[in-house]
């Protein structure tokens, strides 16, 4: 081995150790923040009482708060933050567009439309033949189902339209923007004819809120996020090659259109699942990947997992802040992520060095 090759190998090992160190630190931070978040709330429960309640000991009230309210909520932040960051990362990577996310591709807009139809048009309920064949408004899963189906349907339409152009990245992005605008317009028209109560319910649904989570919803999100993320890791090498262009990927035996289709479908499935259960959580899918790509580089074997961990960290911290700002009141976590994310995103844009010829 020549001296130049030895130097290159040392640099490669150094970069690998650095990236693994970043991932390990993020992992520890997520665990730390996860447990600290369990003890933030308005119940004035002591740390010792909280630990006991987690293991089913202590008063019934403390056990109820820790096991049935706080734990499902923080688990939702962990899973949804991980999943939404993975979704944004894969959308950006497969389309080679740093602005790609569930919001910019119309997935979030479609979910809002579906929720508005369920809440306003169908009164947010289910068909109850026992009460004179009327709609019963006590079933929240109708809204969740409509939001999920519309979000997934939107991406199906985008992928179908883009297939005519071989899933070219620009075609997918433009189709997403166009359909997203249309979904927003239809939502506005539906809200225009809604009553005050219906409008308030529809607007409230759009607020990202981890407090809606239950163990059942957490398990569903975990299953979707886990399976999809495993597939993303298997495709990480293909995504790395696709950074050099579709032609280079094809010369190495990779089918860019197929990889892009699989990635966008699973990324949309993650976003649709998380959004339908928790509402709109903005900027997370854009910020987390952009930050971690700057820190660990573009290699998807490292940037994907680091983005996911940072997404979990960011969402749990945002929810903790939402509960801590006003005692007894939980602010919408989607608003917190947007408030924190927007200026940070602007910093990323304007701090980027311009390339001169």
Q: From residue 282, give the alpha-carbon distance in Å to each of 163, 209, 332, 333.
A: 28, 12, 11, 9
φ/ψ of 105, rounded to 5, equals: -95, 5
pLDDT at 169: 74
* 61-87 pLDDT per residue, tens: 888 988 898 899 999 999 999 999 999
CA proximity to 288, closest of 100, 86, 18, 31: 86
Instruction: Write the CATH number of the domain with boundaries 15-349.
Output: 1.10.3470.10
Query: The pTM is what?
Result: 0.86
Q: From residue 259, give the alpha-carbon distance in Å to each of 88, 168, 267.
A: 16, 12, 12
Contact 304, 89 (CB under 8 A): yes
Q: From residue 79, give the alpha-carbon distance in Å to each of 24, 91, 124, 219, 329.
A: 18, 18, 26, 9, 23
The residue behind tokens 């997403």 is 176
- Say yes or no to pLDDT of 301 above 50: yes
Cβ within 8 Å of residue 53, ≥6 positions away: 45, 59, 62, 63, 65, 66, 67
* 92-126 pLDDT per residue, tens: 888 888 777 887 788 888 999 999 998 888 875 44
- Say yes or no to pLDDT of 331 above 70: yes
- The DSSP bridge partners found for residue 207 are 280
* 332-343 pLDDT per residue, tens: 888 888 887 777
φ/ψ of 134, rounded to 5, equals: -115, 165
Percent pLDDT > 90 in the chain is 31
pLDDT at 351: 67
Radius of gyration of the chain (CA): 22
The residue behind tokens 């740093």 is 98
Integer Cα distance of 38 and 184 in angstroms: 36
CA proximity to 283, closest of 334, 210, 350, 240: 334
Q: What confidence category does residue 348 fall into, taking pLDDT thresholds of 50, 70 and 90?
A: low
Integer Cα distance of 60 and 119 in angstroms: 35
**What is the Cα 255 distance to its own chain's centre?**
27
Integer Cα distance of 117 and 187 in angstroms: 8
* 8-66 pLDDT per residue, tens: 545 555 678 889 999 999 999 999 999 999 988 777 788 888 888 888 888 888 889 88
Q: What confidence category does residue 4 fall into, taking pLDDT thresholds of 50, 70 and 90?
A: low
């Amino acid at each position: 081995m020549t001296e130049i090759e030895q130097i290159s190998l040392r640099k490669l090992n150094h970069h690998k150790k650095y990236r693994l160190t970043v991932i390990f630190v993020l992992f520890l931070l997520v665990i730390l923040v996860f447990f600290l978040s369990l003890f933030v709330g308005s119940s004035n429960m002591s740390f010792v009482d909280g630990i006991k309640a987690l293991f089913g000991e202590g008063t019934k009230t403390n056990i109820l708060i820790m096991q049935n309210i706080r734990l499902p909520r923080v688990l939702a932040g962990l899973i949804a933050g991980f999943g939404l960051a993975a979704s944004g990362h894969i959308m950006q990577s497969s389309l080679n567009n740093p602005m790609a996310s569930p919001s910019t591709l119309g997935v979030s807009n479609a979910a809002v439309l579906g929720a508005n139809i369920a809440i306003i048009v169908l009164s947010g309920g289910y068909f109850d033949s026992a009460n004179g064949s009327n709609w019963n408004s006590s079933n929240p899963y109708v809204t969740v189902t409509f939001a999920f189906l519309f979000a997934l349907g939107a991406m199906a339409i985008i992928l179908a339209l883009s297939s005519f152009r071989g899933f070219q990245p620009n075609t997918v992005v433009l189709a997403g923007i166009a359909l997203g605008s249309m979904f927003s317009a239809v939502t506005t028209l539906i809200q225009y004819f809604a009553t005050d109560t219906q409008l308030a319910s529809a607007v409230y649904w759009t607020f990202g809120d981890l407090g809606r989570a239950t163990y059942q919803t957490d398990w569903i999100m975990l299953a979707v996020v886990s399976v999809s993320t495993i597939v993303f890791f298997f495709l990480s090498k293909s995504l790395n090659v696709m950074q050099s262009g579709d032609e280079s990927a094809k010369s190495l035996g990779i089918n860019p259109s197929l990889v892009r289709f699989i990635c966008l479908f699973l990324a949309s499935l993650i976003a649709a699942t998380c959004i339908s259960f928790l509402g709109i959580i903005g900027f997370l899918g854009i910020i987390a990947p952009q930050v971690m790509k700057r820190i660990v580089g573009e290699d998807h074997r490292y940037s994907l997992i680091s983005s996911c961990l940072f997404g979990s960290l960011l969402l749990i911290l945002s929810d903790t802040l939402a509960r801590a700002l006003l005692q007894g009141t939980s602010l919408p976590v989607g608003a917190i992520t947007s408030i924190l994310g927007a200026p940070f995103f602007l910093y990323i844009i304007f701090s980027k060095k311009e390339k001169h010829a």
